[in-house]
Amino acid sequence: MDVVMPQLGETVREGTISAWRKQVGDPVGPDEPLFEVETDKVTVDVPAPAAGVLVEILVPVGERVEVGTRLAVIRVPGEAMFAMRGPGARVVTLSSARPTVPAMPVAIAEASPALDPPRTTGRITMPAIPTAIARAVGAELRLSPVVKRLIAEHHIDDPSVIPGTGAEGRITRDDVLAYVESRGAASGGGEPPAESLVPMSRIRQLTAEHMVRSLATSPHVLQAVEVDFHAVERLRGAAGEAFRAREGFSLSYLPFVARAVCQAIPEFPHVNASVRGDALVVHHRVHLGIAVDLDRQGLVVPVVKGAAGKTVRALAVEIHRLADRARRGQLAPDDLTEGTYTISNSGPFGTLITAPIIHQPQVAILSTDGVRKRPVVIERPAADGSAGGETSAGGETSAGGETSAGGETIDAIEIRPVGVLAQCFDHRAFDGAYSAAFLRRVREILEQANFEAELT
Amino acid sequence: MAELTYREAVAAGIAQEMARDDRVVMLGEDIADAGGVFKTTVGLLERFGPRRVRDTPISEQAIVGAAMGAAMTGLIPIAEIMFSDFFAVCWDMIANEIAKARYMTAGQMALPLVIRTANGAGSRFGAQHSQSVENWAMAIPGLKVVAPATPADVKGLMAAAVRDPDPVIFFEHKGLFATKGEVPDGEHVDRLGTARVLRQGSDVTLVALAAMVPRALDAAERLDREHRISATVVDVRSLVPLDTQTILAEVTRTGRMYTVEENPRLCGWGAELVSIVAEERFYDLDGPIIRITTPHVPLPAADALEDHAVPTVARIVDTVVRTAG
């Protein structure tokens, strides 16, 4: 039976074989993990399609293949002959339900170093066979609760380095303790090491590769605007509590920024695009990527599909759902594909400004940084003789914005929640004026904040 | 220290308490003139007289009912049920009345009584006279349950049971009556709810009760001698209250637990221990917890079959050797 590259998601066309869980010659149970596939940042264990023996691996680890590619061959019992490889190998029949006991072990013994016959008799007993099979399929790494706990406590990354003395080579509690002691003895117990080696996780390696490639591909230009979140803050104040009670999480600035970006994109469509050769592919739908930090163990960018049609509330709910799934490691491969524009949100950490790196093949990325209360000079209509009075509702303009129409204005200092929106764009795609105009539009939308109707 | 048999220790424990407190009385079938069918009450009639050591008709319900009434009116009765199998005809009185009295009277009435009984197999008495029913008693809230394994524990725990303000079911083991052991001289009072560590090893922990305790000890010797497996042996002694501290500590030290139980497998006392260990010490376990029990069968009368049913030293050793790696 052929094993083929499965369709892991609607939009996933190819994947990389990152590990084979079985070796050629290994028995494979039904639904037992057979190999691991990586698509961007999601790793999936793929089970065997049938029980049998893995007789051939056609695609080595590290190779990227399209959906449907033949990857391996499983010989299903009763189907055909099964040939062990190696010097002196003989053909062994696994087709009958009860193999002839004397013949089979001898043949396997000659073929497989895993089956050492006892020196005294040279005869392999029946119990030796399941033991050897168990060893071959990695049963020695079936770890007891206390062993798992000790391995975690002593930061042993690869437990297979611990010599197992238990039944079938199982690692026992005492084996871990002995290993820890020997490791301590080997390091001499003297000076603490001046440095330590932290191997990069798979997601770290992927991120590293992507960042280098993005900077090498796109000439990045950073532009930033300062936004007065006063109006947004008033909406959050008015609707936030009800929102939290209804949705179960609080209403942050992020969905407002996402909404403003979606509203501004139709006027500046080239922001929502990618470069293909000498052309700019302008996407007519907005699939908004949201960078999510995985408890500082990595970064993923799940995508809000069809973001342009969503209200602030819908965006908030979808961003919350994706971030939650990301942190639980439950994102599907489809959740990470098709992004057309990305928002990176460092705001909760109180950053001033961040220059993000473009998520290829997109052409722009926006960072939302910390919002803090600051004294802001605003221009206000000079109301006859009552300059120091209450701020009039609705009449605000931002410090940098256009003066309100008509009449005298006076400068006043107010305390406003202010934050920076910083966009890096690919200068191949458009120029600074285009990007700046887009940012100005986003700022206007946020400062007007006509979102009351979108919060319920 | 004096060497007593297990059956002599029963009488010694009772005598110690009857001499100390006039309210302690005895009742049961053939306990007075005959000195008990297992000779566990020899000499008590002569020493304490027929008013305090009373033979009863063959009615287990009458015995426990009378004991309850005596306890309600200020005495401290020690009732004997000749074979623990006969608890089956007593359960309404024991489970519904005796066990519930303190609770249902909001503490106005306590029942300081002891129900002694001969429990367990080994005497070829067949399906109705050989059962280990400690797990039956353990399942009833309101009862304390003790099952000693040595003459010293018989005397000390008997004293503790008599002095306890609530009903205590006291399981004496038929297969142990002839065994001998040192018993402390003078007044000897033990504590309910305490297990005892009889032997400390580093590889596995065997947790046993009553007649299974000497077998677990023999098995531990053989495991050490023949298989280089070092075993701890814990004598549970008291099922209710249960000394979980000692048991959990000893299981944690080795990471492996085996219960050795004479009661039939389903819902045996070891199952309760397993659930406690799994819940509270999962991350200290280095392998599956394994129960060595009598299978879920009526006990046969034939000697070879009875020996085959109840856990033997060989079965304990084999099970540990096969699974301890």
Query: Same domain for A368 and A276?
Result: yes
Domains of chain B: 2-183 (3.40.50.970), 196-324 (3.40.50.920)
Q: Which two tokens stand for residue A212?
A: 């280098």
Residue A215 maps to a domain: no
Q: Using a CB-CB distance cutoff of 8 angstroms, which residues of chain B are in contact with residue A159?
A: none
Q: Do A146 and B286 touch (CB under 8 A)?
A: yes
Specify whether A73 is located in the same domain as A159: no
Please name the residues between 173 and 192 in chain A that touch chain B, using a CB distance below 8 Å: 173
Do A173 and B286 lie within an 8 Å CB cutoff? yes
Which residue in chain A has the smallest CA separation from B252? A146
The answer as to whether A10 is a domain residue is yes
Q: Does A311 touch chain B (CB under 8 A)?
A: no
Domain check: are A270 and A295 in the same one? yes
Q: Give the per-residue pLDDT at A130.
A: 59
Q: Are B121 and B299 in contact (CB under 8 A)?
A: yes
**Burial of B33: CB neighbours in 10 Å, binned 0-12, 13-18, 19+:** exposed
Same domain for A276 and A343, yes or no, is yes
**What tokens appear for B106 in the block?**
């909001």
Give the nearest partner residue to B285 out of A144, A167, A168, using CB atoms: A144
- Find the domain containing A26 and state its range: 2-87
At residue A83, the pLDDT reads 40
Residue A391 in any domain: the answer is no
Q: Assess A376–B contact: CB distance below 8 Å, yes or no.
A: no
Contacts of A148 in chain B (CB under 8 A): 283
pLDDT of residue A131: 59
Query: How many C-alpha atoms does A89 have within 13 Å on its Cβ side?
Result: 12
Specify whether A116 is located in the same domain as A72.
no
Contact A166 B325 (CB under 8 A): yes
Q: Which residues of B touch A149 (CB under 8 A)?
A: 283-284
The last residue of one of the domains, among A205, A239, A260, is A205
A199 and A290 inside one domain: no
CATH of the domain at A325: 3.30.559.10
Quick check: A145 and B285 CB within 8 A? yes
pLDDT of residue A123: 58
Q: Which of A30, A55, A87 is the last residue before a domain boundary?
A: A87
Chain B residues in contact with chain A using a Cβ-Cβ cutoff of 8 Å? 255, 282-287, 323, 325
Residue A322 and residue A200 share a domain: no
User: Which residues of chain B does A147 touch, with a Cβ-Cβ cutoff of 8 Å?
Assistant: 286
CB contact under 8 Å between B255 and A144, yes or no, is yes
CA A401 to chain centre: 39
Q: Three-state SS string across chain A, please? A: CEEECCCCCCCCCEEEEEEECCCCCCEECCCCEEEEEEECCEEEEEECCCCEEEEEECCCCCCEEECCCEEEEEECCCCCCEECCCCCCCEECCCCCCCCCCHHHHHHHHHCCCCCCCCCCCCCCCCHHHHHHHHHCCHHHCCCHHHHHHHHHCCCCCHHHCCCCCHHHCCCHHHHHHHHHHHHHHCCCCCCCCCCCCCCCHHHHHHHHHHHHHHHHCCEEEEEEEEECHHHHHHHHHHHHHHHHHHCCCCCCHHHHHHHHHHHHHHCHHHCEEEECCEEEECCCCCEEECEECCCCCEECCEECCHHHCCHHHHHHHHHHHHHHHHCCCCCHHHHCCCCEEEEECHHHCCCCCCCCCCCCECEEEEEEEEEEEEEEEEEECCCCCCCCCCCCCCCCCCCCCCCCCCCEEEEEEEEEEEEEEEEEECCCCCHHHHHHHHHHHHHHHHHCCCHHHCC
* pLDDT of res. A384: 57
H/E element, B292: strand B290-294
In a domain, A434, yes or no: yes
Return the pLDDT at B276.
97
Sign (positive/negative) of CA torsion A403, A408, A412, A417? negative
Positions of A marked catalytic: 427, 431
B129 catalytic? Reply is yes
Do A332 and A451 belong together in one domain? yes
A169–chain B nearest CA distance, Å = 9
Q: How far is A94 from chain B (nearest CA, A)?
A: 29
Chain B residues with CB under 8 Å of A166 CB are: 287, 325
Which ranges in chain B belong to alpha helices (H)? 6-20, 44-48, 60-72, 91, 101-104, 134-138, 151-163, 212-227, 244-254, 269-280, 303-309, 313-323
Look at residue A25 in the predicted model and tell me its pLDDT. Answer: 83
The answer to whether residues A9 and A65 belong to one domain is yes
User: Residues of A numbered 129-148 whose beta carbons fall under 8 angstroms of chain B's beta carbons: which are they?
Assistant: 144-148
CB contact under 8 A, B285 and A146: yes
Summarize the confidence of residues B147-166 as an average pLDDT: 98
Collect all residues with Cβ–Cβ distance below 8 Å to A106 and sequence separation of at least 6.
A124
- Number of inter-chain CB pairs under 8 A, A vs B: 29
In the block, residue with structure tokens 């299903």: A76
Are A266 and A326 within one domain?
yes
User: Which among A107, A104, A87, A85 is positioned nearest to A95, based on CA atoms?
Assistant: A104
Q: Structure pTM?
A: 0.52
Per-residue pLDDT reduced to its tens digit, B109-141: 999 999 999 999 999 999 999 999 999 999 999
Taking the C-alpha atoms of residue A349 and residue A367, their distance in angstroms, rounded to an integer, is 12
Q: Which of B227, B285, B286 to mutate to test the interface with A (most CBs of A within 10 A)?
A: B286
A421 and A278 share a domain? yes
Probe site for chain B from A173, A174, A176 (most B CB atoms < 10 A): A173
The token pair at A405 is: 């129409």
Question: Are residues A371 and A224 part of one domain?
Answer: yes
Whether residue A99 is contained in a domain is answered as: no
Find residue A292's DSSP bridge partners.
A300
Of the candidates A375, A369, A377, the residue with the CA atom closest to the CA atom of residue A420: A369
Answer whether B283 sits within 8 Å of A149, measured CB to CB.
yes
**Number of domains present in the structure of chain A:** 3
- A214 to chain B, closest Cα gap in Å: 45
Q: Which phi and psi angles does A57 have, rounded to 5°? A: -115, 120
Average pLDDT over residues B8-34: 97
From chain A, pick out residues whose CB is under 8 angstroms from the CB of B287: 144, 166, 172
Q: pLDDT per position in chain A (456 positions), as tens?
A: 888 888 877 777 888 888 898 888 888 887 888 998 887 767 888 888 888 888 888 888 888 888 888 899 888 765 544 344 444 434 444 443 344 444 454 455 544 555 554 444 555 566 666 556 655 555 447 789 999 999 988 888 888 888 888 887 888 999 999 998 888 766 655 566 777 778 788 888 889 999 999 999 999 999 999 999 999 999 999 998 999 999 999 999 999 999 999 999 999 999 999 999 899 999 999 999 999 988 878 889 999 999 999 999 999 999 999 999 998 888 888 899 999 999 999 988 999 999 999 999 999 999 999 999 999 998 888 765 544 444 444 444 444 444 455 578 899 999 999 999 999 999 999 999 999 999 999 999 999 988 988 887
Interface of A with B in 99-128 (CB under 8 A): none
- The contacts of residue A22 (CB under 8 Å, 6+ apart) are A28, A32, A34, A35, A48, A54, A137
Q: Which residues of B touch A172 (CB under 8 A)?
A: 286-287, 325
User: ipTM, 2 decimals?
Assistant: 0.77
Which of A205, A231, A248 is a domain's end point?
A: A205
